[in-house]
A and B are shown apart, each in its own frame.
Chain A
Amino acid sequence: MSENSTSGGRLFASIAAAKPKVVTGVPDGMLAETIMLCEASPDFPYIACAREEECIGVACGAAMAGERAVVMVQNAGMLNSLGAFATMALRYGLPIVVIVTNRGALADPNGYDIEKREAFDAGVRPMARVFDFDAGNLPADLVPAAFKWAEAARKPVILALEKRLGGEAAP
């Protein structure tokens, strides 16, 4: 099975196409395959952080050096990171790409995810640009396009991936 035959593989391919200098994250079930592919990639280091807030710091350090950096976290992890995101990524205008699995969608109704999603909508969307996508149907140019947008806007961008009804099954 090729990397591009699964949604996780397609996300990895899109990340790789953006030629990041570093990728960092904290696992979520929907990101597990992509993270393992990143860890195995010879093209960039994957830094496994103990806590999501650190991911924002790592990516911002790379961006301060003028390099592209991708963060992968779950929506609860993004909520953990709002202070760092606001005071570092937004304050310094750093064009990092943050991929957030927005759990608790209509097609993803775990009881423990619902409040995370509602808090993400209430807390994150007012402070940053969020673009939403079906995790089972990701465009190949998603991450390169996100970097182009962030670099033009001189600010970070969040890609919120969710499971959707009737679509291809996401991990």
Chain B
Amino acid sequence: MSRSSNLPSQKDAIAQALALYDKRPYAVGDIGSQSGWLKAAGHDPRNLYVSGPMGLATSVALGVAACRPDEEVIAIAGDGALAMNLTSLVTIAGAKQKNLSVLLVDNRVYEFTASVPTPSRDLDWLAIGRAMFGPENCFRLADLNRDTWMRVKRPAMIVADVAPAPGKPPALGLTPAMIRAEFLAASRR
């Protein structure tokens, strides 16, 4: 049986992570798979689809979190994307942002690029998250429930091992101007 046969899809893992919150958090998805599957998991005005730079969702989410300190923010990053901006974990840890979490969805491939394997495919992301944010602040998604998650101090990290998808997610169907306008309105409510 292959490693991925018992793993959730990226879409289901994102939905499961969002369901850990009592109130819908701002969710910042990285370009490609993460934004696509975030939208497929359920479009919400609080979703911010980063459709340009690769790996920048964690940094963009930090900016949102700094401006909305009373709201929860979650960055959704793929393993390939986060490896491109690994230093952002250092920055988030240093900023001690108390309302920011990172969901790492690890499918071990660049899903949007013909599923070429990522260089991070053998990394222990849980150990990296714990080294960055502390041993009590990083969990596997499969080990979390809502009660546990709401007691975890931020910044925190959730590691979700997911199965590579057989295809790409549905297209966003949103222009940058549309994404910006909708998120701006949601962030001012």
Question: Footprint of B on A, CB under 8 Å?
Answer: 21-22, 24, 45, 47-51, 53-67, 69, 83-84, 86-88, 91-94
| Contact A57-B180, Cβ < 8 Å, known A84-B53, A87-B53 | no
Render B31-57 as a binary contact track against A, CB cut-off 8 A, 1 for contact.
000000000000000001011110011
Q: Do B52 and A88 touch (CB < 8 A)? A: yes
Alpha-carbon distance A57/B88, docked complex (angstroms): 10
In the complex, what residues of B have CB within 8 A of residue A93's CB?
176-177, 180
Q: Shortest CB–CB separation between residue B44 and chain A, in angstroms?
A: 15
Tell which of B28, B87, B91 touches A61, judged by Cβ atoms closer than 8 Å: B28
| Contact A54-B91, Cβ < 8 Å, known A61-B28, A88-B50 | yes
Q: Count residues of B near A (Cβ-Cβ below 8 Å).
A: 34
Q: What are 25 inter-chain pairs, A to B, with CB distance below 8 A?
A: A21-B66, A47-B66, A47-B91, A49-B87, A50-B90, A51-B85, A54-B62, A54-B91, A56-B59, A57-B53, A57-B56, A57-B57, A57-B60, A58-B60, A61-B48, A61-B62, A61-B63, A64-B63, A64-B64, A64-B180, A64-B187, A65-B63, A65-B183, A88-B50, A91-B176
Interface check B188, CB cutoff 8 A = yes
In the complex, what residues of A have CB within 8 A of residue B87's CB?
49-51, 54
**Nearest chain A residue, comparing its CB with the CB of B50:** A88
Alpha-carbon distance A134/B150, docked complex (angstroms): 50
**Nearest chain A residue, comparing its CB with the CB of B57:** A57
Alpha-carbon distance A45/B68, docked complex (angstroms): 12
Q: Shortest CB–CB separation between residue A93 and chain B, in angstroms?
A: 7
Q: Do B59 and A22 touch (CB < 8 A)? A: no
In the complex, what residues of A have CB within 8 A of residue B57's CB?
57
In the complex, what residues of A have CB within 8 A of residue B83's CB?
none
| Contact A64-B184, Cβ < 8 Å, known A50-B90, A53-B56, A57-B56 | yes
Interface check B27, CB cutoff 8 A = no
In the complex, what residues of B have CB within 8 A of residue A64's CB?
48, 60, 63-64, 180, 183-184, 187
In the complex, what residues of B have CB within 8 A of residue A61's CB?
28, 48, 59-67
Interface check B95, CB cutoff 8 A = yes
Alpha-carbon distance A64/B67, docked complex (angstroms): 10
Q: Do B95 and A47 touch (CB < 8 A)? A: yes
Alpha-carbon distance A62/B73, docked complex (angstroms): 12
Since A48-B95, A66-B188, A92-B176 are in contact, a sample of 19 more A-B pairs with Cβ atoms closer than 8 Å, ordered by chain A residue number, is: A48-B91, A51-B85, A53-B59, A53-B85, A54-B88, A56-B56, A56-B59, A57-B56, A57-B58, A57-B60, A59-B63, A60-B56, A61-B48, A61-B62, A62-B66, A62-B67, A65-B63, A88-B56, A88-B60
Query: Most chain-B CB neighbours within 10 Å: which of A55, A57, A59?
Result: A57
